[in-house]
Amino acid sequence: MNMKQTREWYPFIGPFDPCPPIYVKTYVVPPNQFFPYQPMNLPQFSLAEALKRGTLWPALFSPYESKCGKGE
């Protein structure tokens, strides 16, 4: 299951806002929101890879991408 995890939101831009407007904001939907129940026989990472990625199942893995470009 490969759903789009990053979504966009278009906030209201008021005529008297004191800050420069941000026309599009993004947010991440966690992958567990796409599963109404835990399906049987999901593929699994190896134990070492699961510890590294923080989940046993590749379908529930969501990598963190830093917006400031400093981290992983």
Residue 41 zone, left/alpha/beta (φ > 0; ψ -120 to 50; rest): left
**Is pTM, for the whole model, over 0.75?**
no
Report pLDDT for 66. 73
Q: Model confidence over 27-66: pLDDT tens digits?
A: 888 888 888 887 889 899 999 999 999 889 998 888 777 7
Q: How far is CA 12 from CA 15, 16, 25, 56, in A?
A: 10, 12, 11, 40
Could you state, in order of their start, the residue ranges of all structural domains in the chain? 1-6+24-32+42-63
For the cut 80, the answer to whether the pLDDT of residue 3 exceeds it is: no
For the cut 90, the answer to whether the pLDDT of residue 8 exceeds it is: yes
The tokens describing 23, both together, are 């026309």
